[in-house]
Structure 1
Amino acid sequence: PHLVSLLAQDCLIFFCNASILPHYLRNVDWMNCRVVEDVHLLVETLDPEELDVTVALELLSMEFADVTVRRLAVKRLENLLTQTCYLYLYHSLTLSPNITLAGCPYFRQRMALILEAYLLGCGQAMIDSFTKQVQAVVSLQEVAIMIKKLYPDSKDLPTAGGTHKKNKVKVCAVICFLLDTCKVMASKKKPLWLEFCPMPSPTPSLPVGIIFKQGDDLRQDMLVLQTLAVMDSIWQEKSLDLNLIPYGCISTGHNIGMIEIVRNAVTIASIQRNHGGTTGAFRNDALFEWLKSKSLQDVERFVKSCAGYCVATYVLGIGDRHNDNIMITDQGNLFHIDFGHILGNTKHFLCVNRERVPFVLTPDFLYVMGRVKGGNSLYFQQFMDTCTQAYLSLRSHSRLLVTLFSLMLLTGIPELSAAEDMRYLRKALQEKQSEADAKEHFLKQISVCENQGWKVQANWWIHMVAGIK
């Protein structure tokens, strides 16, 4: 109990730099007043600047409820650059009104008080702006619910623009929609594809596009997309640009939210349908022929983006990967969408696991890289090198990634509700293995994907035949 009082300044610095402070605090007897006094003495002596950022984030988790401990963490994070703070504290800065209010009742009450305090002091102009935004979301929700009732069968959905003579309409006198390009998407939840006029600007700008979804919990998508942004920042530090597209996504309420439209992009499924119908899922050259039609000269963008998403989806355990939630831009930038299953929670059909590979690396992807029938290819070698470099970079930040997910445990996200849910993350990052063994582990995953690629194609064919979306 009196160990703290005997620690020298060097030991205090050791606590910070060696990142053992959380481990030490977990073993403190917080019911012993004298011990707690010693702990507070230690914590108040520590220099926040010497504290590792990952450790500071860990001290904000539900494990450490002590005010003095949390104050140390906050002091460290206060000095971060705004962009870095946004990346790491996305959970509290961006999601708190949306994620937390849907989670634990204690935090719902806490956030309600914070929101009330903010509204009391933000001024009438800001309140008026918030009111218009809420009215717009409520109106869109009413439209979405009405469409589901009017068109229970997706085959009867109206086409873009409908029969309106005018191509613009206002919602709550806030948003000016372009009806000619708005439509109802043919999927189970019938999301709304909406485009509207941008804000007045001296320079010409493209219409703003969003997908409005009613009936889906987008909080998990938000978490994955922000984690992709964190991963990208880790890779950028290593001068590794993998062309990720962490598009915008926000949950605006219970099972309501908006998703940014990525321009000039199509799904892999649509490309395959245009190259043989449902059997296009088995055409190894379908994607290559489509890219060639777009006059794509630089295959490196495809190689890098494919490597980035292979590593990211494997580490995060993202499931339900079919050809309707993998997209590609006209420039060859591959990216994934729809993150309803994470941390190894896979999707089943008739009690059969549909996920047969650790990540998506199908024969048509390999064909673009020149990897045909196992032959040598410089692009495929570049793909493997990029994958291992990206994987090892994330592995060196495994504590940060695990900590960011642990901060979300009490938010009520279905597939992230207990400490056990992080086991997949730790296993995927091979925390207990050497770097050489971890590299070999990921190369084996690439080999599995190569050998089992036909099973993914068969799954995609079933997906297209059944019309599942």
Structure 2
Amino acid sequence: MEKIKDRESGRNGSSLYVVVEFCSFEHRVVFQEAGSNFLIPSPITTSNELVTVWHPEVGKINPSEHKQLKLARSLTCGIIDRDLKPSSRERKSTQRILKYPPTRILSGDERQLLWKFRFSLMSEKRALTKFLRCVEWNDVQEAKQAIELMGRWETIDVCDALELLSPVFESEEVRAYAVSVLERADDEELQCYLLQLVQALRFERSDKSRLSHFLVQHSLRNIELASFLRWYVAVELHDPAYRKRFYCTYEILEENMMKVGASGDEDRFKLWQSLKKIEKLRQLLSGLLSELTYFEEPIRSPLAPGVLITGIVPSESSIFKSALHPLRLTFRTENGGSCNIMFKKGDDLRQDQLVIQMVLLMDHLLKLENLDLHLTPYRVLATGHDEGMLEFIPSSSLAQILSENRSIISYLQKFHLDENAPFGITATCLETFIKNCTGYSVITYILAIGDRHLDNLFLRNDGRLFHVDFGFILGRDQKPFPPPMKLCKEMVEAMGGAESQYYTTFKSYCCEAYNILRKSSNLILNLFHLMAGSNIPDIASDPEKGILKLQEKFRLDLDDEECIHFFQYLINESVSALFPQMVETIHRWAQYWR
């Protein structure tokens, strides 16, 4: 270059030339081939030697590709893009991308494709979350344009708004937009997501965020939301890493409720004051039993804030025979009834709380499609990292029932005998049992709930079957070679055997329920993604692996017809599995000798 400059400078400036100056580096530039290990380079003897070493920046975005991407976007960010329409091939590629689950990371080409046709995608509400993943938020102009387009985009659904509250999206404008969508949800729907919304506070940049304000304002209008919100936040105070942020939210709750009382809205203020009396209840439980027989004034039940409890019935309360000796307390209610609550100390109930929330949500989703499986999700509330309470439902384990009766049918005949009906039990009782088996078979398969045995499957005398104890989820299981779902031969026999019409009905219900829940896979995946930062054992150990395991359960690569054949195969495999039957027998003997 110096020779060219010298030569051209003597020609009276008649020639034009360009000088391109490349970056200079202090040290030698080295190269790493894919898959190479860390090696200490040998002394460099010639300037042409190629040295292969590991470098921490390898694997990050290529600087030249990044520059090319910015140049491409700057050239097409103006009026040109507004009139662009995708070709048939590009449209197919776009539709394929929009069907991706929220866990899927977009490639560079996919990001560029969505950005290129962003204007034509604005009428597709499901495209917004994918588009926002394509934005280079460090580029001020690009981020500004994205925020502007977001405001004009077709309004997204609530399940997609939950995705925008995940740690993937740091923009305060995007998170505020997600909250504005949540404001369309009613209190019943909001309560389905409340546990995850409290976790989403972890990813907020400000203590007084739009999400925090939204949760406070809704809790002012609904006592159940206020009660559960307070407990969920209080439990997070045990996490030192996030204590400061959650404590600020807790103080905001207290402060806002006190303002409500000062403004003259006495009814709401009294509701909030009653929540604070739950703390008094916990103190009373450590006192003498006589002090608990009658409370000075009614206290709202933490599990069901709409119920007022007035005292404990000593004669109906007891202690369970287990390692942790949980209490079963029977409370009087103000309307003359009673409710049973189990208190546990020394056990982390946050995972059980999450599973029961999912059961409630999936039950709600099935009912929206006119499939009521009569599920019995008992209430669970963690009040700390090693304590909590559960709703006690009078029932017996299948292990106990089968040890005292010849079969499930003979047990149900004691309560719902009908000599003219199939199997000698009423049609209502039999239908309830079949539908309950359906619901829990599908749900426990999707959530990959492990450690299933006859001691944690319970049956009520009206035919309602339900699962308890969710210490292993998302594929973890302490038993070797677990079946896809817990469907023992005794349950099949209660339906008349594998050749009966009732068993065929059961399989039909299973396939229908599975396909219904697959339609809401994005919602369920988004809720678990928001739980990734929690300290729930089976999620905290490896959040990414757990969520991918959950995604696999939905088999999004299959259509509905293919899924029917797939799920019927799973049912047959679960029923015919021999090894789990051997493990169950060993478990029964272990329980007997214990």
TM-score range (shorter-chain normalised) is 0.7 to 0.9
1:169-209 Cα shifts (integer Å, max 9, x gaps) = 3579866211111111112221111111112x3xx42x110
Superposition pairs of residues 28-427 of structure 1, within 5 angstroms: 28-47=135-154, 50-92=155-197, 94=228, 96-98=232-234, 100-103=236-239, 105-106=241-242, 108-123=243-258, 125=270, 128-140=273-285, 142=286, 169-170=293-294, 176-199=311-334, 201=335, 204-205=336-337, 207-263=338-394, 265-275=395-405, 285-295=406-416, 296-298=425-427, 299-348=430-479, 353=480, 356-371=482-497, 374=498, 376-417=499-540, 418-427=543-552
Give 2:409's aligned amino acid: F
Q: Are 2:161 and 2:182, in contact at CA under 8 Å, matched by a contact in 1?
A: yes
Provide the residue aligned with 1:441 in structure 2.
566
Q: Are 1:316 and 1:342, in contact at CA under 8 Å, matched by a contact in 2?
A: yes
The 3-state SS of whatever aligns with 1:424 is helix
Give 2:533's aligned amino acid: L
Q: Are 1:44 and 1:68, in contact at CA under 8 Å, matched by a contact in 2?
A: no
C-alpha RMSD of the superposition: 2.7
* Higher mean displacement: 52-61 or 88-97: 88-97
Give 2:400's aligned amino acid: S
Provide the residue aligned with 2:133 in structure 1.
26
How far apart, CA to CA, are the structure 2 residues paired with 1:83 and 1:41? 32
* Higher mean displacement: 214-223 or 114-123: 114-123
Give 2:426's aligned amino acid: Q
1:350-377 Cα shifts (integer Å, max 9, x gaps) = xxx2x52111111110111101xx4x21
Q: Are 2:128 and 2:153, in contact at CA under 8 Å, matched by a contact in 1?
A: no
In the superposition, relative to structure 1, how do residues 101 and 356 fare at CA in structure 2: closer, same or farther (>3 Å)?
same
The 3-state SS of whatever aligns with 1:425 is helix
Q: TM-score, normalised to structure 1's length? A: 0.83
Q: Are 2:343 and 2:388, in contact at CA under 8 Å, matched by a contact in 1?
A: yes
Unaligned ranges ≥5, structure 1: 147-163, 276-284
Give 2:534's aligned amino acid: T
Give the paired residue count: 422
Provide the residue aligned with 2:219 in structure 1.
none
Q: Are 1:408 and 1:416, in contact at CA under 8 Å, matched by a contact in 2?
A: yes
The 3-state SS of whatever aligns with 1:366 is helix
Give 1:289's aligned amino acid: S
Q: TM-score, normalised to structure 2's length? A: 0.66
How far apart, CA to CA, are the structure 1 residues paired with 2:588 and 2:284? 33
1:401-436 Cα shifts (integer Å, max 9, x gaps) = 111111111111111132221111111110122323
1:334-390 Cα shifts (integer Å, max 9, x gaps) = 111111111111124xxxx2x52111111110111101xx4x211001000000000
1:64-105 Cα shifts (integer Å, max 9, x gaps) = 111111111111110122212222344236464155434572
The 3-state SS of whatever aligns with 1:318 is coil
Give 1:26's aligned amino acid: R
* Higher mean displacement: 325-334 or 378-387: 325-334
How far apart, CA to CA, are the structure 1 residues paired with 2:237 and 2:82? 44
How far apart, CA to CA, are the structure 2 residues paired with 1:446 and 1:225? 23
Give 1:366's aligned amino acid: V
Give 1:133's aligned amino acid: I
In the superposition, relative to structure 1, how do residues 191 and 17 fare at CA in structure 2: closer, same or farther (>3 Å)?
farther
Q: Are 2:350 and 2:385, in contact at CA under 8 Å, matched by a contact in 1?
A: no
The 3-state SS of whatever aligns with 1:408 is helix
Give 2:410's aligned amino acid: E
Q: Highest Rg: 1 or 2? A: 2
The 3-state SS of whatever aligns with 2:333 is coil
The 3-state SS of whatever aligns with 1:197 is strand
How far apart, CA to CA, are the structure 2 residues paired with 1:101 and 1:415? 20
Report how far residue 24 of structure 1 moved.
Answer: 2.5
How far apart, CA to CA, are the structure 2 residues paired with 1:16 and 1:329? 50
How far apart, CA to CA, are the structure 2 residues paired with 1:18 and 1:441? 31
Give 1:188's aligned amino acid: A
In the superposition, relative to structure 1, how do residues 62 and 111 fare at CA in structure 2: closer, same or farther (>3 Å)?
same
Provide the residue aligned with 2:52 in structure 1.
none
Give 1:451's aligned amino acid: S
Unaligned ranges ≥5, structure 2: 1-72, 84-116, 198-224, 262-269, 300-309, 417-424
The 3-state SS of whatever aligns with 1:420 is helix
Provide the residue aligned with 2:587 in structure 1.
463
How far apart, CA to CA, are the structure 1 residues paired with 2:77 and 2:157? 20
Report how far residue 22 of structure 1 moved.
Answer: 2.3
How far apart, CA to CA, are the structure 1 residues paired with 2:431 and 2:122? 44
**Regions of 4+ moved over 4 Å:** 2-13, 124-128, 170-175
Taking every aligned residue pair, what percent have the same amino acid on both sides? 29
Report how far residue 58 of structure 1 moved.
Answer: 0.5
Q: Are 2:118 and 2:131, in contact at CA under 8 Å, matched by a contact in 1?
A: no
Provide the residue aligned with 2:96 in structure 1.
none
* Higher mean displacement: 122-131 or 357-366: 122-131
1:10-66 Cα shifts (integer Å, max 9, x gaps) = 95583463523222222322222122111122123235xx21222111101111111
How far apart, CA to CA, are the structure 1 residues paired with 2:175 and 2:240? 20
How far apart, CA to CA, are the structure 1 residues paired with 2:565 and 2:493? 24
The 3-state SS of whatever aligns with 2:196 is helix
How far apart, CA to CA, are the structure 1 residues paired with 2:473 and 2:251? 34
The 3-state SS of whatever aligns with 2:531 is coil
